[in-house]
Amino acid sequence: MAGAAALRRSARRIARHVAAAPSLSRNPLQQPERLLSSQSSPEHGPRGAVSGSELALYPPERVRNFSIIAHVDHGKSTLADRLLELTGTIQKGHGQPQYLDKLQVERERGITVKAQTATMFYRHTTASLDSDAPRYLLNLIDTPGHVDFSYEVSRSLAACQGALLVVDAAQGVQAQTIANFYLAFESNLSIIPVINKIDQPTADPDNVKDQLKRLFDIDPSEALLTSAKTGKGLEQVLPAVIERIPSPPGKCDSPVRMLLLDSYYDEYKGVICHVAVVDGALRKGDKIASASTGRAYEVLDVGIMHPELTPTGVLYTGQVGYVISGMRSTKEARIGDTLHQAKSTVEPLPGFKPAKHMVFSGLYPADGSDFEALSHAIEKLTCNDASVSVTKETSNALGMGFRCGFLGLLHMDVFHQRLEQEYGAQVISTIPTVPYIFEYGDGSKVQVENPAALASNPGKRVVACWEPTVIATIIIPSEYVGPVIMLCSERRGEQLEYTFIDAQRALLKYRLPLKEIIVDFYNELKGITSGYATFDYEDSEYQQSDLVKMDILLNGQPVDAMATIVHNQKAQRVGRELVEKLKKFIERQMFEITIQAAIGSKVIARETLSAMRKNVLAKCYGGDITRKKKLLEKQKEGKKRMKRVGSVDIPQEAFHELLKVSNSK
């Protein structure tokens, strides 16, 4: 027994010596770890610790600011993960794919909603162990790919001098690829094409190169072939960023001038602003002022995202980081504003176009007593999503609530989901609508975002109506051209362009009314093309149209939360479907319920929900018929009195079902 115990003690000592001994793996599959350790140089101390004196080692010519843009699901976030690992910013195998997608809704849906920034340090050298090679500071911005969040993309590109245009090697150029390319092109950015997912069995990089040449006039030899999943080809991405993307312009000796890119609210730190330093240097304790509001603030903290908030005490020309200055709300931090040294006059930087709200919807608490809780939740969430507009409104049917403007329907869905997940709010949303313009006989015009606000005033006659339109880009396999053209024609579309990208795929451009696409157009498009269609749109001008306001009446009383504006030709069909849906979801009462769809005083559709009634003739086993008639008449009078004083409860499911009908036809 003593010999066995001594043997175990000896084995433990050997194990400790082996664990402590530095060694390099002989397994060639583990060699990338050596490259990672060589990039995370000890001159920056422990991972995440960076001082201001170290940032001073990176003048503007050693800084590169670039963004990753692509269509949805082409591998942007995975590529960002690999670049963070390659530079040692995060550990390999950190166990959290899509590291920069921090919101729960982003992880559940597999999409990027908020643009995220990360600062990386990289030694640019052909010899991996050359310690004298110059080091560069790289600011990476991972952007959303869905059309609803193109506003996030445009803001991100303002802080960059170049972009990686990622294209799926199997799917090729898609609709949002085209939109994002032109956003970057109009911003005069250097564009590096990256053909990703070359490890897929159906990958065809040569065909994708031809598409890039034909659509964007990009030299095929400039395209990088990579697989973010396996790591193949990634070693050429960062050298291309350094060699092809110019350094940020700026004057190091000028007073500090910064562009405010984004802001969000933290319960402990207050408003955190993401900024790009254009001129000068920003230090902790400096006094800065806003060019738009004129308010002055003291810099309480300043640093970089590496990849989390990392205090450095200073930011230099060309660098991107965060600033905490004691702002109390994000309303003070206006996106696109210029922050500059206090008590000095500077020329404001070109800002951003204000967010254009495409869809409006009412939000009401499921329980009327929860209005204050919902108000608090919306106030907090809009601190982190400044692109939502919020105004208070009142509905006769639903009580007090809010009228919110969104960039698109997915943006609206994400906002609802975040309200429920992050704040536990239960909400009822009304039928989404778009902003219309109505002109009256006296020449006055009014913009209508809430159909209930369009009063049916006999004294003011509507003489003209305008509705917003969009330019839609649709890319589909050529065999689906016929059904897609038919779908766009049903949605009152006007064809603008019809070309072939290659032998298998066609590109269609249509001018479509915004109302026709905001609910189920994309789902129907995916359905008729077996999921192969890609869709993108940009807002266009208003066009004159024949529009009418349709009211829903319950027992003759209009329900303002269900009012909608429809095209005159489709009004009868939409009205009929609405009342049929309501009949299924409204519970039967002790009195008869009449459900009507009406345009002005004209009823265009009607359904009747019969009353639940007691069999008052059960006790009559014979006798004169007049006795039975008397009992039935008495019951009938009672039902009339009940109908006058009774109220109809509209369940939440009815509103959800109306979303699927009202704007889809």
| Binding-site annotation: residue ranges | 70-77, 142-146, 196-199
Between CA 177 and CA 594 the distance in angstroms is: 50
- Confirm if 570 and 664 have CB atoms less than 8 A apart: no
Closest CA to 427 of 387, 399, 405: 399
Contacts with 60 (C-beta within 8 Å, 6 or more apart), sequence order: 247, 248, 249, 250, 252, 316, 317, 318
Show the tokens assigned to 378.
């919306």
Q: Is 649 exposed, middle or buried, given 0-12, 13-18 or 19+ CB atoms closer than 10 A?
A: exposed
- 253: how many CB neighbours lie within 10 A of its CB? 8
Name 553's bridge partners: 558, 596
Show the tokens assigned to 606.
């009607």
Q: How far apart are the first and last CA of the chain?
A: 85
Closest CA to 69 of 191, 226, 207, 219: 191
Q: Is 351 exposed, middle or buried, given 0-12, 13-18 or 19+ CB atoms closer than 10 A?
A: middle
Closest CA to 154 of 354, 334, 332: 354
Binding residues for GTP: 70-77, 142-146, 196-199
Name 400's bridge partners: 394
Task: Write out the E strands in 434-493.
Answer: 436-440, 445-448, 462-477
Between CA 274 and CA 259 the distance in angstroms is: 9
- 453: how many CB neighbours lie within 10 A of its CB? 14
What strands, in cross-sheet order, belong to the sheet with 359-365?
A: 389-395, 399-406, 359-365, 427-429
Q: What is the CA radius of gyration of the chain?
A: 31
Name 595's bridge partners: 554, 607
Do you find a cis peptide bond into 220, omega within 30 degrees of 0?
A: no
Q: How many residues does the chain have?
A: 665
Between CA 456 and CA 551 the distance in angstroms is: 10
Q: Is 68 exposed, middle or buried, given 0-12, 13-18 or 19+ CB atoms closer than 10 A?
A: buried
Q: What is the dihedral of CA 40, 44, 50, 54, to 10 degrees?
A: -130
Show the tokens assigned to 177.
């690829």
Between CA 464 and CA 457 the distance in angstroms is: 15
For residue 259, the SS3 value is strand
